[in-house]
Structure 1
Amino acid sequence: MRVKDVVSNLIQKYKTNDPYELASRMNIEVVLWNLHQEIYGFYKYERRNRFIFINSNLCEVMQRFVCGHELGHAILHTRVNTPFLRKNTLFSVEKIEIEANTFAAELLMPDELFSEHQDMTIYEAAATYGVPREFAYLKNKNF
C-alpha cells in the first residue's frame, strides 16, 4: 500500500491529521525529552509498546514534523527501532527514512487542504502547515 493511502485511511478513520492526536488514539506514547541538539527524535518499539521521543528543545513546528515522521515509523515500520533522527540524517536516502518523511508530508499537508486552496503552491502549503521546505516535494498531489 502506498504511504499516501495509509495516511488517507488514518485521517479518515480518526478524523484528524494531528500527529499527537493520532499517536494518542493509537496508544503510542509521545515523550518530549531534552535530547542533544543534533538529535531531533526517535521511535522505539519494546514489548508491544510504542514510543516516540521528540527533542523538547526544538520549536513547536519542528516538533510536530518530527512527531509526524516518527509516527510514520510507528505505523509503517512498527517493530523496527529507528536510529536517532539527527539534524544531519534528516535528509537520509534510506528507504525507511524517505517513507517516514513522506508520511509526515502527506499527514501534515492532506489533499483536502489543496481542494480548499487550489491556488496554493506546495511550498506555500509547506510553510503554512509546518513541513520543512526541503520535504514539500514528497507530497504527492495526484488526487
Structure 2
Amino acid sequence: MNAKNCYELAQQALALSARRDPQEIADGLGIDVLYEDGYHDLLGMYYANWGHRFIFLNNRLDDIWQRMVLAHEIGHDQLHRELAHESLQEFNLFQMNSRTEYEANAFASHLLMDNDDVYERLQEGCDIPALAKEQNVNINLLLIKLQQMAALGYDLRVPDCGDSHFFRKIRA
C-alpha cells in the first residue's frame, strides 16, 4: 500500500469522529473493542470473522500506548481485514510480516497526527523528541509519520533511524 492510499483510508476513518479518538473511530467503524487485564506480553490483536470485527486490547497499558495500539489495530482492520480470519493467535502485533506491521503503523500515524500540524511544528524548529511528546506518541511512530509525509510530498528529510517494530519492546 502506498502512502497516499494509506493516508486516504485514515482520513475516511477520521471522518467518523469529531476528534482523533481511536475508540470513537472504532465504534464508528463497527469494531468491538474488548479490554482485557489478563494479557501479559500481548498489547493488542485484531480479529475478524463471520462479519464481526474485534480488537482485543491490553487494559494494563497507559493511555498513550492504548491509544497507539488501538490505532494500529484499526489499521489492520482497514488495510488487512482479509488476513484476520485465519486464526486468533496468528494475528497479534508481532506475528505478521513486517510489511503489514509497517502499514498498520503508518495508518496509526495518520490517524493520530495531522500532517499540517506536524509540519508546522517542525518548521517552527520543534525537534523530533519534543514533537513526539507533544503529539503523545512514541518517537518511532512520529518517524514513521515523517516518512509517510515525505512520501506524500512534504519537504522533509527524515532520519532513517526509526524502529518500525517498536511495539515489540513494550511490556504491559
Give the TM-score range, shorter chain.
0.7 to 0.9
Structure 1 runs, 4 residues or longer, greater than 6 Å off: none
Q: Which has the larger radius of gyration?
A: 2
Letter in 2 for 1:71: I
The alpha carbon displacement at 1:4 in A equals 1.6
Which one has a larger percent strand, Structure 1 or Structure 2?
Answer: 1
Match among 105, 110, 127 for residue 106 of structure 1: 110
Identity %: 28
How do 1:1-143 and structure 2 match up within 5 A?
2-12=5-15, 14-81=17-84, 83-85=91-93, 89=94, 94-114=98-118, 117=121, 118-119=123-124, 120-139=126-145, 140-141=148-149, 142-143=153-154
Structure 1 gap segments, 5+ residues each: none
Decide whether the 8 Å contact of 2:16 with 2:28 is kept in 1: no
RMSD of aligned C-alpha atoms? Answer: 2.3
TM-score (norm 2): 0.70
Q: Matched residues in 2 for 1:14 and 1:134: separation?
A: 25
Which one has a larger percent helix, Structure 1 or Structure 2?
Answer: 2
Question: For 1:99-119, what per-residue CA distance to the aligned partner results, in whole angstroms no more than 9, with x for missing partners?
Answer: 001111121111142366442
Partner of 2:162: none
Aligned residue for 1:77, secondary structure, equals: helix
Structure 2 gap segments, 5+ residues each: 85-89, 155-172
Tell which deviates more after alignment, 64-73 or 107-116: 107-116
Tell which deviates more after alignment, 50-59 or 122-131: 122-131
Decide whether the 8 Å contact of 2:45 with 2:92 is kept in 1: yes
